Amino acid sequence: MTLTLGTGPLAGQPGGAFNFSLDEAPMHRMFFEAYPRRLRAVLAGQTILDTTQGRLLHETAILPVAYVPLADLDQSLLERTGSSTHCPFKGDASYWSLRLPDAGDGELHEDFVWAYEQPLEAAAWLDGYASLYWDRVDEIYVEDELQLSHLRDPYHRVDALESSRRVVVRANGEVIAETDRPVMVFETGLPPRAYVPRVDVKAGVLAASDKRTICPYKGEAAYWSAAGIPDGAWSYETPLPEALRAQGHVAFDGEGIETQVG
């Protein structure tokens, strides 16, 4: 979740109230801001980008995208292509492929970088900036920390708070967990989630699953079947600092599962 997704203030349907009217505001909203962190991208063992002059583009219904000065990319690695795409909000994008002779693979990474060389007036601030397909990069570092999944949105927050609220979890109507000491996780744009201490889950209810997912804010989630419901529970065994209090706890969701929070 970000400024631009879910109920964020730049989303199509913001979840809060403003002291001004959005009637004349465009349904598709953009916000371009400084990203002062050092940003590095590594592909095939070679650093293809190292900058402290990045910017972050927040755009309705799209995760934030990092843009960097085109001059900060090694021009000797870039090969302009004939590809072009049109965005009704930003203009026509030009593309460059990336070749890494020093990395030893010699592979041409086609249409890897794009820029709006003549952006629309509403996005004039994109002039001189370029972006790349971050999901095709092998490693992304912010300062010296390796990023998981995708760049973290600086406006996304995770609060893992100890609580005494009563939590009861049922699977197909049967109680499988209950506790008065959950950790409540509040995450930007998402409903609150109760995490139950594993010792407060009934014995034999959980069975480990092979499924894993990555959250750039909480870490890698391990999944469990819950009372026979596949992947009906998950936990963060080695969470990132924001979710550290949820370590050793389990959350539940899925068809047939009901979590009641008092």
Instruction: Say yes or no: 104 and 171 in one domain.
Output: no
CATH number of domain containing 108: 2.170.150.40
pLDDT tens for each residue of 231-249: 999 999 999 999 999 999 9
pLDDT of residue 12: 77
Instruction: Say yes or no: 116 and 200 in one domain.
Output: no
Percent share of the chain, pLDDT over 90: 76
Instruction: Say yes or no: 85 and 162 in one domain.
Output: no
User: Considering its fold, how many domains does the chain have in total?
Assistant: 2
Instruction: Say yes or no: 105 and 211 in one domain.
Output: no
SS3 sequence of the chain = CCCCCCCCCCCCCCCCCCCCCCCCCCCCCEEEEEECCCEEEEECCEEEEEECCEEEEEECCEEEEEEEEHHHECHHHEEEEEEEEEECCCEEEEEEEEECHHHCCCCEEEEEEEECCCCCHHHHHHCCEEEECHHHCCEEEECCEECCCCCCCCCCCEEEEECCCCEEEEECCEEEEEECCCEEEEECCCCCEEEEEHHHECCCCEEEEEEEEEECCCEEEEEEEECCEEEEEEECCCCCHHHHHHCCEEEECCCCEEEEEC
Residue 103 domain-assigned (yes or no):
yes
Average pLDDT of the segment spanning 141-163: 93
Q: Work out the pLDDT band at 53, boundaries 50, 70, 90.
A: very high
Instruction: Say yes or no: 106 and 171 in one domain.
Output: no
Instruction: Say yes or no: 101 and 163 in one domain.
Output: no
Tokens of 262: 């008092």
Residue 14 domain-assigned (yes or no):
no
* Whether residue 39 has pLDDT greater than 90: yes
Instruction: Say yes or no: 122 and 230 in one domain.
Output: no
Of 113, 146, 179, the last residue of a domain is 146
Residue 210 has a CB neighbour count (10 Å cut-off) of 7
Of 102, 122, 146, the last residue of a domain is 146
Instruction: Say yes or no: 177 and 96 in one domain.
Output: no
Residue 1 domain-assigned (yes or no):
no
Q: Work out the pLDDT band at 158, boundaries 50, 70, 90.
A: very high
pLDDT tens for each residue of 104-141: 556 889 999 999 999 999 999 999 999 999 999 999 99
Question: What domain range includes position 246?
Answer: 158-261
Instruction: Say yes or no: 133 and 197 in one domain.
Output: no
Of 94, 124, 146, the last residue of a domain is 146
pLDDT of residue 1: 56
- Distance CA(151)–CA(141), nearest Å, equals 9
Residue 177 domain-assigned (yes or no):
yes
pLDDT of residue 240: 94
Instruction: Say yes or no: 132 and 45 in one domain.
Output: yes
Q: Is the distance from CB of 159 to CB of 185 less than 8 angstroms?
A: yes
Residue 132 domain-assigned (yes or no):
yes
Instruction: Say yes or no: 34 and 140 in one domain.
Output: yes
pTM: 0.82
Residue with tokens 């008092």: 262
Say which range, 65-69, 98-102, 225-229, has the weakest mean pLDDT: 98-102
pLDDT of residue 105: 57
Instruction: Say yes or no: 99 and 140 in one domain.
Output: yes
